[in-house]
Every structure is written in structure tokens, then in C-alpha cells.
Chains A and B, each alone.
Chain A
Amino acid sequence: MVEFLTSQLGVSIILALVVIGVMLGAVAYCIYFERKIAGWIQDRFGPNRVGPRGILQPIADGCKFFLKEDVIPGHVDKPLFILAPAIVFVVAFVGFAAIPWGGQLQLGGRLVDIQVAKPDIGLLYILGVTSIGVYGVVLGGWSSNNKYSFYGAIRAAAQMLSYEIPLGLCILVVVLTMGTLRLESITLQQTEYWGGILPMWNVFLHPLAFLVFLITALAESNRMPFDLPEAEQELVGGYHTEYSGLKFGMFLLAEYAHMITASGFIAVLFLGGWHFPWIAWTQPEATAWYAVIAKMLVLAGKITFFIFLMMWLRWTLPRLRFDQLLRLAWKGLIPITLGLFTLAVILVYVGQQQSLLWALLGNTVVLVIVLAAAGLSQVEVTGRQANLPSIRPGPVSTGTART
């Protein structure tokens, strides 16, 4: 038994159970903190009725979701209607499997990885699994047999398709730089230092790619300002209009789980995962249990920061209109990421992919080109699409009745 528990498989199973448990709690409290932060930003209290400072609010919400009537309307496609929230929910949680939580642990004379699964294609696995989430959204909207739900679903599909491209190109930049698809190797490579001072985090190497990745991650997890699939004011709630009770709760929890996955992904790809510079506990050599816990806390801190950033952005920015959303992806982000991708390819070709000087020089060139293109272009970038016919006063109605 002890033999099994200290083996890689045993550790993976225990870790999976712990991660799922912690994530469910974290997701519930994300909703609480989202509402609290919304309150603070708007000079209000936020939830403060259930328990001291409203700390028991998620538990009350959970009870409410369990006890509410779970309505399945008569006109829906029943199997798909039930399947959709399950897909969204499961997919949002399995993404955590490939995230390296805390390096290696010395256990009974062996080194085990604090990682549920260690596939060679860990990066592609997370990318693929999070993209399946859109199937749940589309199926939910489609099976609801409701035009507003369907609008939400097709918006989600178009948005996901558009933003997968810059997201994938940003990841390619990292993959080209690191030369591996294994997330734990990507983390390990980032724990070295330039000149013994600056950690080799990808954010210093490719700041523009980091920024674009942050924006696309927001869009991929349907967060403000890209939450058009669930635009309440336009779509009566979007793809989950017809859902109630626990099924609605699953959509809600999945959104926050997606946020945590995206944050963890950003932290691993660009901010060195569990690595905290200059402290011995979080260096790859440290494998004692307290070092592993310290590393997990560092990663949790980075994830918390990005979740806070997402909430902060949500309560700052208004929603984009749909044509603006697609224009941002196709005319803004994709050209920029293509430039960054070209830059990464050139750096690999000349063998300078880990050189801070060359990478920053290249990023500056890309930034200058982008700024010049934005400043010099004569295309009207306004609220209205530039190629729409301009408004001219047409013939004024003289009041004849329409037939």
C-alpha cells in the first residue's frame, strides 16, 4: 500500500483528487470574490449577509442550485441539452491534469512528479481540451431550441475560431523558443537566469506575445470584454437562457474553472510556473515536501494574480460589439502574432532563441511596425465599420401608409 502510494501513479491519483477538490472550492470562492471586487470597484459592499463579510455566500449559492427545480423545457433536444453542461464542466476541469504544480518531490528515496499526467504533448493537450469547451456552449445553445440561445452559441463558435489562431501562434512562439511541448520542461527552462540575476521567464523574452496571449485567453474563457456569447442585455442570458438549477450552476462554475486553467496556463508558459526567483525553496533542486508546498503556493499566487486581473478588467471595460471583436482578432491580433511568429522563427534560425537582447530588439521592431501601421493608416477606426455607407438624409417620408 505504502509502495503504491509513493509511486508515481499513487501520487498522481492523490494529486488529481486534491486538485479537483481544491478547484471546486476555489471556483465557488471565485464567484464570491468576483462579486466582492465588483462591489468594491463600484463603491459598494458586495455580498455581506451570509456569514461574516458574506464568506458563506458560495455555500448558500450551492444549496440554492441544488434545491432549485431543474426545468427541462418541452421543446429542447433532451439528450444534447443534458450533455452540454456536462461537457463544459468536465472539459474545464480535466485541463488541470497537465499543469506542473510543484516540480519533483523526494518520496521514499524516489523522485515523483507533482503533476497528474506528464504527456509529451502537455501543451497541445491543454490547448485541445480547453477548445472542446466550445462544443458544450454550441450544443447548449443549439439544443435549447431558442433563438437567443442559438445566437449566443454561434457567437461563441465564431469567437472561438477567431481567437484560437492568435492563441495558437502565441503558443508556437513559446514552443519555438523552448523547443519542447512538455509543460514541465518549459517550466524548468525558465528557472535559469540571465547573467545570474534576471530569471529566464518568457515574459521578458516575448512581452508582446504575453500581452496577446492574455487578451486571447480572456476571449477563450468568454470573459468581459469578450463575453458576447452570454451578453445578458442582448441575448436574455445567451447560450444558457433555458438552463436552470444545477445545470446552470455547472455552466457558471465551468466559466470560472476555465479562468483558472487559463491563468495557470499563462503562469506556466510565460511566468515560469512554480518558479520564484532567487529563493532556494523554489529552485528545481529543492525536492523536500516543504519546498514542493512552497512551489505550489507560488503557482497559486500567480494564478490568483491573473484571476484578479481578469475580474478587474471585467469591471473596468465595456463589452465589444461583435464586428469590433472579430476585427480585433483578424485585423489586429493575427497580424501581430504572425510578426511575432516570424521573429521567433528567425531567432531559432540564427540560434539566438534564448538571447534577451535579440528577442527584445525583435519585439521592439514589431511594436514599431504596429504603432506605425496604427498611426499612419488612413482607415477610419471608429465605432462604426469603415466600409458602411455613410448616413445621408434620404427622402423624407411624407406619411403615406405602408402596404
Chain B
Amino acid sequence: MIKDDDILLLDEPRLSAAERLYLPQIVDGMTVTLRHLGKSLFKRPITVQYPEEQRQLRVENYRGVHRLNRDEQGRVACVACFMCATACPVRCIHIEAGESPWDDREKYPVKFDIDELRCIYCGMCEEACPVDAIELTPHYDLVGRSREEMILDKEELLSIYDGTRDLKPRKNPRITGYPGTGNRPEQAELPKDEAKA
């Protein structure tokens, strides 16, 4: 309950004679707007004319569309640990795990879908991932004709990685699989089905 002593009663400041006439204040305001008008006439406004010009985005930490990283051997880096799906506040990540065909990890994602319409681009999945497999890219102009089209599956997310690899390389390509198991990716062999693909 609010006590009477806690309420501060403020009187509005009394206007001076000039302020009561309004006119000096109006003239002041008009000089300000005239200055801006003159500036715009002789100098190009800083407006970015979007489709033709595009802003230089901060590649490192811009939070746009997700990608699913590949390791050096072109395999999906994800180990299907469900950390991202757990961290996700809107539950837009759907993973189906399967037994890994490679011996450096136990599981890999059979399916990895992200609902890009549901996502709020908070970047928690990127924070949570222990193997730096899921990352956000600076791409923001994602469009689709239906809601279904905006649910990106594993192949689409991997192809986004292929498209943005040069712009933003994977943070730590050495981490794949369980750290500390000794099964480093350079020693692992390509599984047969992935090698064919």
C-alpha cells in the first residue's frame, strides 16, 4: 500500500511572460526545423534506400537466419544433444536423433527442423550448443509463400552454411563430437553413406 508521504506532488513550472505568448517559442522551433530542412536540401539524408542499398551489418554477432555447420569432412557437426531445443524459449527447434554412423559420436540428427516463423532470433541455441554446430547468420531477408515453407529442414540449414561459409567461418571447426574422447575428426573416417552423398 502506498503511504501518503511516499507521493510526491509536483507543480507544473510557471510559464514566463514570453512563454505565455507562445510566439517566441514557436519561432525557436521553426528555426530548428528550418535548419533541418536546409541541411536536407544540401546534404543527402542518411536514409538507406533499402532494396538498392543495403546496410553493412555486423557479421560476427548479427542474429539472422540459422545455419547448421559442417565439420571439415562435410558431415553435419550436430551431435543431437537437444541442448538447443531445450534452451529455445519458443520451442521452434525439432530434432529427431538417430544412432550415429560415425564412431566419434553416439548420435546425429536424422531430422533437424527450425520453424523460422516461430523463432524469435534470441540466439540462445547458439549459446547452448556444445559443439558450435548451430549458428545465426547475418541473413535477414528470408521469405516464403507458406508457413510450411518457412520450416527449414536439415538440408536447407546445411545449405545456408554452404552459402555463408566465406562470409562468416565456423567459430571453432576443431570442436566436433564429444570433447575429450580422443576421437578427433581428422582421425575419423567418413561413413559410407555420407561419403556417397
Q: Does B143 contact A (CB under 8 A)?
A: no
Q: Does B144 contact A (CB under 8 A)?
A: no
Q: Does B39 contact A (CB under 8 A)?
A: yes
Q: Is the CB of B9 within 8 A of A375?
A: no
Contacts of B46 on A, CB cut-off 8 Å? 43
In the bound complex, how far is the Cα of B40 from the Cα of A3, in angstroms?
53
Residues 359-380 of A, flagged 1 when their CB comes within 8 A of B and 0 if not, give 0000000000011001100001
Q: Residue of B at shortest CB range from A370?
A: B21
Q: Is the CB of B15 within 8 A of A42?
A: no
Q: Is the CB of B9 within 8 A of A391?
A: yes
Q: A41-B33, A312-B33, A315-B33 are in contact. Are A383 and B12 (CB under 8 A)?
A: yes
Contacts of A380 on B, CB cut-off 8 Å? 12, 14
Q: Is the CB of B15 within 8 A of A382?
A: yes
Contacts of B172 on A, CB cut-off 8 Å? none
Q: Is the CB of B37 within 8 A of A41?
A: yes
Contacts of B180 on A, CB cut-off 8 Å? none
In the bound complex, how far is the Cα of B33 from the Cα of A42, in angstroms?
8
How distant is A374 from chain B, measured CB to nearest CB, in Å? 4
Report which of A37, A44, A312, A396 forms a contact with B30, defined as CB distance below 8 A: A312
In the bound complex, how far is the Cα of B49 from the Cα of A44, in angstroms?
11
Size range of the chain B interface in the assembly: 20 to 34
In the bound complex, how far is the Cα of B2 from the Cα of A398, in angstroms?
10
Contacts of A45 on B, CB cut-off 8 Å? 45, 47, 49
Q: Is the CB of B36 within 8 A of A42?
A: yes
Q: Residue of A at shortest CB range from B27?
A: A316
Q: A45-B47, A396-B1 are in contact. Are A40 and B40 (CB under 8 A)?
A: yes
In the bound complex, how far is the Cα of B23 from the Cα of A371, in angstroms?
12
Q: Does A51 contact B (CB under 8 A)?
A: no
Q: Residue of A at shortest CB range from B23?
A: A211
Contacts of A128 on B, CB cut-off 8 Å? none
Q: Is the CB of B17 within 8 A of A371?
A: yes
Contacts of A312 on B, CB cut-off 8 Å? 30, 33-34, 37
Q: Residue of B at shortest CB range from A43?
A: B45
Q: Is the interface of A mostly helix, strand, loop or mixed?
A: loop
Q: Does B20 contact A (CB under 8 A)?
A: yes
A contact residues, total (Cβ < 8 Å): 28
Q: Does A317 contact B (CB under 8 A)?
A: yes
Chain B residues 81-96 with CB under 8 Å of chain A are none
Q: Does B197 contact A (CB under 8 A)?
A: no
Q: Does A384 contact B (CB under 8 A)?
A: yes
How distant is A386 from chain B, measured CB to nearest CB, in Å? 11
Contacts of B166 on A, CB cut-off 8 Å? none
Report which of B2, B20, B36 forms a contact with A41, defined as CB distance below 8 A: B36
Q: Does B4 contact A (CB under 8 A)?
A: yes
Q: Does A313 contact B (CB under 8 A)?
A: yes
Q: Is the CB of A316 within 8 A of B30?
A: yes
Q: Does B195 contact A (CB under 8 A)?
A: no
Q: Does B7 contact A (CB under 8 A)?
A: yes
In the bound complex, how far is the Cα of B39 from the Cα of A374, in angstroms?
36
Q: Is the CB of A44 within 8 A of B45?
A: yes
Chain B residues 43-92 with CB under 8 Å of chain A are 45-47, 49
Q: Does A393 contact B (CB under 8 A)?
A: yes
Q: Residue of A at shortest CB range from B5?
A: A393
Q: A43-B39, A43-B46 are in contact. Are A374 and B17 (CB under 8 A)?
A: yes
Q: Does B29 contact A (CB under 8 A)?
A: yes
How distant is B136 from chain A, measured CB to nearest CB, in Å? 31
In the bound complex, how far is the Cα of B9 from the Cα of A238, in angstroms?
36
Most chain A C-beta atoms within 10 Å of own C-beta, residue among B20, B21, B41:
B20
In the bound complex, how far is the Cα of B2 from the Cα of A393, in angstroms?
10
Q: A42-B36, A44-B45 are in contact. Are A317 and B12 (CB under 8 A)?
A: no
Contacts of B167 on A, CB cut-off 8 Å? none
Q: Does B120 contact A (CB under 8 A)?
A: no
Q: Is the CB of A316 within 8 A of B14?
A: no
Q: Residue of A at shortest CB range from B32?
A: A316
Q: Does B188 contact A (CB under 8 A)?
A: no
Q: Residue of A at shortest CB range from B7?
A: A393
Most chain B C-beta atoms within 10 Å of own C-beta, residue among A41, A313, A315, A398:
A41
Question: 3 smallest A-B Cβ distances: which pairs?
Answer: A375-B17, A40-B40, A374-B20
Given contacts A43-B40, A312-B30, A312-B37, 16 further A-B contacts (CB under 8 A): A40-B37, A40-B41, A41-B36, A41-B37, A42-B36, A44-B45, A44-B47, A45-B45, A316-B26, A316-B30, A316-B32, A374-B20, A375-B17, A375-B20, A382-B12, A382-B14
